[in-house]
Amino acid sequence: MGAHHNPIYPYKSPADLMATPPQRKPLIVIGAGPVGLAAAIDARLQGLEVLVLDDDKTVSVGSRAVCYAKRSLEILDRLGIADAACRLGVSWNIGRTFLEENEVYQFNLVPDAGHKRPGMINLQQYHVEEMLIARALELGADIRWQHKVTAVKRHDGHDGHDGHDAHATLTVETPEGSFDIEADWLVVADGARSPIRRHLGLDIEGRVFQDRFLIADVVMQADYPAERWFWFDPPFHPNQSVLLHKQSNNVWRIDFQLGWDVDPEEEKKPEKVIPRLKAMLGDERPFELEWVSIYTFQCRRMTDFRHGRVLFAGDAAHQVSPFGARGANSGFQDADDLMWKLGLVIKGQASEKLLDTYAIDRQFAADENIMNSTRSTDFITPKSRTSKTFRNQVLALAKHHPFARKLVNSGRLSMPSFLTESVLNTPDTDAFEGQMVPGAPMDDAPVQVKGQDAWLLDQVGKGFALLLFVDAEPSPLVLSQLAAATGHGGRARLPAMASPLQPSLLIVAPSPLNMPGMHVIVDTQGLVAKRYDAQPGTTYLLRPDQHVLARWRQPNSDQVQAAWVRALGGQLGQA
């Protein structure tokens, strides 16, 4: 088989970590996969010390997580690798669904014009991991390869969540022997099989689907478009389904449904895989196999993602079927939600109870993903004659009738969760149109800053922010609001809130303004005002992870302060 040549990362002696009694670190991350690395990068961007432990010495083998959705790319923008990922990855927006040989339905992921990132890129997971590792090291993360965590013991203090001297003790095995080390906070991102989850005896519940799929990464020259193609019952693989994706460097990802009764080890052999590929390709083009794997659908999650000082993220916390690209994408959103909250707690700027909202918000998101993934799987792999008849009738109708296309489900694609039920949100008191409700992930839009073309989302995401919309000539009322609410350097000065957390104030105007010291965003195409249903005086309070917290038509500083206190978990009580 052909193969991507994975880099080998150097082992570093743990001598500096060994101590009696054990050293205490403020933050340890277990797992140098996409989610653990994203958490480590975010920690470093906040100036936090972070130690990453991984039992391997290289990146993942095979494409694995291959589809990265627009929201993930926006998160990777904040982490600093999205440009590189988009340059190497294959951008796509069109998906086509076939029944036998006939196209019955297609969709377009392209959102309205005026977004920095495409609906999706395809890029092998090992490339993404290499980019994340380089970025984490650039920022000063301490990554230790061949450091396998073999045991974790929780010390939850007096009351289980906010106790005195709460921490975790880890036993780490290395080529030079084992040692113990302590963590004030432990982020577990060690994957779907999560040895740490199992070691702690924590549950993961859900459904395992009785079907098997073959993944083949195929290196070949092909002129197929950069689209997602999904076949039900194709002539080259009758009574089953097939999925085709283009990746970087002339690698094509092909998934074959196999059924439950096959022998996984037998089906992975090249002499079984190659005839399937030749039947599908229908010609004599040369190709080579880069990676082959067999997988089974699982839709499961832990009951609780937080266990005292131990926090679970990514596949360690929840698993879904790969159809719909929800694995790594939801994992990046886990890290995005977790790390701004954990950063505030570590710095003593918020109660530990804020971390309960990480678990609640991301458990809600996991349930949403599991629901959509389960529906996709039931449609793709019907388990009764009636279900299959219904599925095929839907596909036949979809060719000619738009109503039936809404019922076609070859994998509802990853969308960010609208955290509308989060206790951190302040409910609307004014009337608004559109999707930017409290809890919504922010929509992007083209803007100008200091005369240069830019994007709205690149202006936020480094902390809390206030987005204040003004007209070309701000009214005396708006100017007085500005004078009351802001101090030097464009930082919000909220009454009785003397804190480095004070939200940045961003002024959105339809044309350039002469406002020295203010961060002025020029809404060049009017798309920011349109997407946020804004009028002069409209104000949005934004989370560090680019979700809406609150919005008003003409707020006063007391309203903004109350919403901000709520966003910090103030309504949850203090530790």
Looking up residue 68, the CATH number of its domain turns out to be 3.50.50.60
Please check whether residues 308 and 455 belong to one and the same domain. Answer: no
Query: Which residue, of 372, 398, 419, is where some domain finishes?
Result: 372
Cβ burial 360-393 (10 Å sphere, 16+ → b, else e): bbbbbbbeebbebbbebbebbbeeeeeeeeebee
| Alpha-carbon gap, residue 67 to 323, rounded angstroms | 10
pLDDT of residue 63: 64
In a domain, 222, yes or no: no
Give residues with Cβ within 8 angstroms of 460, minimum separation 6. Answer: 442, 467, 504, 506, 542, 546
pLDDT score recorded for residue 498: 36
pLDDT tens track, the chain, 575 positions: 445 789 999 999 999 999 999 999 999 999 999 999 999 999 999 999 999 999 999 998 876 778 899 999 999 999 999 999 999 999 988 888 888 888 888 888 776 789 999 988 999 999 999 999 999 999 999 999 999 999 999 998 754 444 568 999 999 999 999 999 999 999 999 998 999 999 999 988 877 777 788 989 999 988 888 888 989 889 999 988 899 999 999 999 999 988 888 898 999 999 999 999 999 988 788 899 998 998 877 788 999 999 999 999 999 999 876 655 557 899 999 999 999 999 999 999 999 999 999 999 999 998 887 777 677 767 777 777 887 788 788 878 877 787 877 777 655 555 788 999 999 999 999 999 999 999 999 999 999 999 999 999 999 999 999 999 998 766 666 655 554 554 333 444 443 333 556 788 999 999 999 888 889 999 999 999 999 999 999 999 999 999 999 999 998 888 998 998 999 987 665 43
In this structure, the answer to whether residues 43 and 184 fall within a common structural domain is yes
Going through 193-341 in order, the beta strands assigned E by DSSP cover 205-220, 228-232, 241-246, 251-257, 287-301, 306-307, 310-312, 318-319
pLDDT at 160: 46
Q: Are 360 and 497 part of one and the same domain?
A: no
Q: How many domains does the chain have?
A: 2
Nearest alpha carbon to residue 342 among 329, 332, 352: 352
Asked if residue 82 is part of any domain, the answer here is yes
Residue 361 sits in the same domain as residue 489: no
**Statement to judge: residues 153 and 65 lie in one domain:** yes
Other CB atoms within 10 Å distance of the CB of residue 210: 12
Say if residue 351 is in the same domain as residue 455.
no
Are 325 and 463 found together in one domain? Answer: no
Listed residue (175, 137, 178, 180) closest to 56, CA to CA: 175
Does 558 reside within a domain?
A: yes
Residue 367, domain member (yes or no) = yes
Instruction: Give the pairing type, strands 519-522 and 504-509.
Output: parallel
Of 344, 372, 400, the position where a domain reaches its end is 372
474 and 562 both lie in a single domain: yes
For every residue of 442-455, DSSP letters joined together read PPP-EEEETTEEEE
Domain boundary pick from 320, 343, 372: 372
Quickly tell me which residue has 């993903």 as its tokens: 369
- 482 plus 336 within the same structural domain: no
Domain CATH number, residue 514: 3.40.30.10
User: Quick one: 196 and 49 in the same domain?
Assistant: yes
Q: Which amino acid is at 214?
A: L
Q: Does residue 521 lie in a domain region?
A: yes
Judgement on whether residues 342 and 458 belong to the same structural domain of the protein: no
Q: How many Cβ atoms sit within 10 Å of the Cβ of residue 52?
A: 26
Q: Is residue 403 part of a domain?
A: no
| 261 assigned to some structural domain | no
Radius of gyration of the chain (CA): 25
The pLDDT score that the predictor gives to residue 495 is: 37
Structural domain range at position 465? 446-572
Q: Residue 204: what pLDDT?
A: 87
Question: Quick check: bond before 474 cis, omega within 30?
Answer: no
- Given a contact cutoff of 8 angstroms between Cβ atoms, the answer to whether 115 and 444 are in contact is yes
| Residue 291: partners with Cβ closer than 8 Å, 6 or more residues away | 1, 3, 61, 62, 63, 215, 216, 217
Q: Which residues contact 553 (CB under 8 A, 6 or more apart)?
A: 430, 535, 537, 538
Whole-number pLDDT of residue 169: 98
Q: Is 162 part of a structural domain of the chain?
A: yes
* 43 and 137 both lie in a single domain: yes
| pLDDT at site 492 | 43
Contact 182, 171 (CB under 8 A): no
For residues 447 and 517, the answer to whether their CB atoms sit within 8 Å is no
Task: Return the DSSP state at 139.
Answer: T
Whether the CB-CB separation of 334 and 319 falls below 8 Å is answered with no
